[in-house]
Amino acid sequence: MRAGLRLMIDGSEGIEVVGEASDGSEVPDAVARLDPDVVLMDIRMPVVDGIAATAALRRGGSRARVVILTAFDTDDLLRDALLEGAVSFLVKDAAPRSVVDAVHDAAAGRSSFSPTALARLVALATRSGGPDRAPSTVVSATDRRDPSGADLPELVTAREWDVGRLVARGLTNSEIADALFVSQTTVKTHLSSLFAKLCVTNRVQLAIRVLEHETRIDS
């Protein structure tokens, strides 16, 4: 599998394969030594799986962006991989062009998902009872089930949670700013605060945290 991926990716314009690892336990040292921009990570590996290896990279402060490529796309694996720091999630039957594009996207800071993985993300959001308002609708602190803010995660302000809920609906910074009548700079400030308080590193992880919290409140 790795040999096939190397042949497919290494010949693509703008991509150079700088190393390989046969097991998740080898990943942190290899990444520290080779300093790649992107890591193409399998989930099912002996000794240490890809999700644990992704978590180890995040704990170690690696700048590499992780693209998960796996034959398994269950809800738990998708959620865990994204929460541990992966930026993209593809299944192994993805077209070669999709894999190459995902590597380029990850290097540029963009996320990619196979159609089945994207459908699972949407299903997770739907099952969680996520907000069903139109993007143009303003969400204020009084829209919450508990106006006192008691249902918010610890230390998160009402306005920060407003921003988080809109991120979970897929809105851009510009759309969030318009919905809440604030500047994009203010949105970015709230996002930075949310990332720190909820221990996440990207918008996908933030969205999952928001949906998980609101699922617990609903239940």
Q: Which of 157, 167, 158 is nearest to 140 (CA)?
A: 158
Q: 77, 146 in Cβ contact below 8 A? A: no
The answer to whether residue 208 scores a pLDDT higher than 70 is yes
CATH of the domain at 107: 3.40.50.2300
pTM above 0.75, yes or no: no
Last residue of a domain, which of 126, 152, 181? 126
Q: Which two tokens stand for residue 15?
A: 């991509």
Q: 39, 61 in Cβ contact below 8 A? A: no
122 and 140 housed in the same domain: no
Question: How many domains, the chain?
Answer: 2
Q: Tens of pLDDT along 50-95?
A: 999 999 999 999 999 999 988 877 778 888 888 888 988 888 888 8
CATH of the domain at 171: 1.10.10.10
Q: Which domain holds residue 78?
A: 2-126
Sheet arrangement for strand 38-41: 38-41, 65-70, 88-91
49 and 155 housed in the same domain: no
Q: Which of 98, 8, 85, 92 is nearest to 39 (CA)?
A: 85
Q: How confident is the model at residue 144 (pLDDT cuts 50, 70, 90)?
A: very low
122 and 189 housed in the same domain: no
Q: Tens of pLDDT along 91-133?
A: 888 888 888 998 998 998 888 888 777 767 766 655 554 433 3
Q: Tens of pLDDT along 3-37?
A: 888 888 887 889 999 999 989 999 999 999 999 99
Q: Which of 101, 118, 103 is nearest to 16 (CA)?
A: 103
Q: Which two tokens stand for residue 93?
A: 């039957």
The answer to whether residue 147 scores a pLDDT higher than 50 is no
